[in-house]
Structure 1
């Protein structure tokens, strides 16, 4: 962790980690991290959530393997301590089949909880992650690896360097592609109108 911390600070990367027990959360304090993360498996670990929320750092909360009642109970702890949070829709399958991604949950979480939302994806490709951004996800979490053929339970659900670069590029394009939602005549259309539209209003 010392090496990770040193490298990230030199590179300007705000790193953070998911603690799975109180001792690990206490250990992470020595690095003065800007964020906390609650793994899906820890969403019902109330003593750990209390410990994390008391730090009042912006926290990313994954919601895999949970129902609304469990999410509600977890969020009550963060609200009690006035700790800011972002909810991440997550399906805890490695890899997650496309038909199980249920990316529409991004909007469901946003509408139900009126808070920032994101997506923690474990799919093989990148399309569900990009779609999540188009639905309002402000945060994308993905596993990364140097080689997807390596041994491990989540290698197949991870992205290699090129895959991550493509994901970042496509997610950044989403906002400009979606546009404002206002009906206007774009500059490109004005040029096309001159040659394509047969009936036009008179300039008089």
Structure 2
């Protein structure tokens, strides 16, 4: 197949302009270390019509600064050190094997954001269709180089980053296999910080890179607006209940919201059309009834009005 610089492959799907919006449910660590919750979220995302679910994978001893290990915090499982908490919410090989099996069973893509090179190696055992770079990892060149070496599509979130940092990350990963997501890393994000026109700014700067949107706001309106502006991929955090414990829950979408989000994205896709003006069959009746003067008619042979 001829390489199209504006399209990327994720599993059996093409992602980019002219393709259906690829919708990702970001589970992250909203499962709170409970596999049953993770599987229920996968089921909810599939039922809603989402294309993929995404997790986060860390090696706690690598990703947690050493001076924070012994800091204590209150958790649903009692008071514990921060490193104990990070280990508590991290899934291992057994959980990911069951996640992989279940996603194959119900027919939904899954992948994760690795936060360290060791986690890339771990995830590679499941042959994910893509990898995600969290905004916080955009400046981690070693991680980016290791992701490039996988040869898989890399989805790069651009929150908390300057244009120069984004440009550098694209150079490190390479533009042929990336999708860029506009994001603002405030949880939840107020409307005045969403800056949705960045979707178009990124499209102009990276014309051969698919541009999407990763939202952390409350509500669905602004995510739908990003689709109307041209985002070809959408990512939203998902949860079973926004009142659950965890820092990402408040900016997450519950099952009914997931269903409405996918439904409305598909309506917008259809409504955007192709930008070519025409008279539709449904207009012929009103035209006959309401228009008194026929107006200028184009000459079919010459094309001149």
Q: Provide TM-score, normalisation by structure 2.
A: 0.64
Aligned equivalent of 1:139: 233
Does the 8 Å CA contact 1:57/1:83 hold for their aligned counterparts? no
Q: Distance in 2 between matches of 1:120 and 1:46?
A: 21
Give 3-state SS (helix, strand or coil) of 2:110's partner.
coil
Aligned ranges for residues 72-111 of structure 1 at < 5 Å? 72-79=167-174, 84-111=177-204
Aligned equivalent of 2:165: 70
Change (3 A) 1:189 1:143: same
Give 3-state SS (helix, strand or coil) of 1:108's partner.
helix
Aligned equivalent of 1:198: 292
How many residue pairs match? The answer is: 201
Q: Distance in 2 between matches of 1:2 and 1:36?
A: 17
Give 3-state SS (helix, strand or coil) of 1:159's partner.
coil
Q: Distance in 1 between matches of 2:110 and 2:241?
A: 22
CA RMSD across the alignment? 1.5
Please, which runs of 5 or more residues in structure 1 have no aligned partner?
A: none
The structure showing larger relative contact order (alpha-carbon pairs under 8 Å, at least 6 residues apart) is 2
Structure with more helix by fraction: 1
Please, which runs of 5 or more residues in structure 2 have no aligned partner?
A: 1-95, 298-305
Deviations 1:54-88 (A, max 9, x none): 11101110000001110111111122xx7500000
Give 3-state SS (helix, strand or coil) of 1:168's partner.
helix
Give 3-state SS (helix, strand or coil) of 2:181's partner.
strand
Deviations 1:66-112 (A, max 9, x none): 01110111111122xx7500000000011111121111111111110
Structure with more strand by fraction: 2
Q: Distance in 2 between matches of 1:8 and 1:201?
A: 58
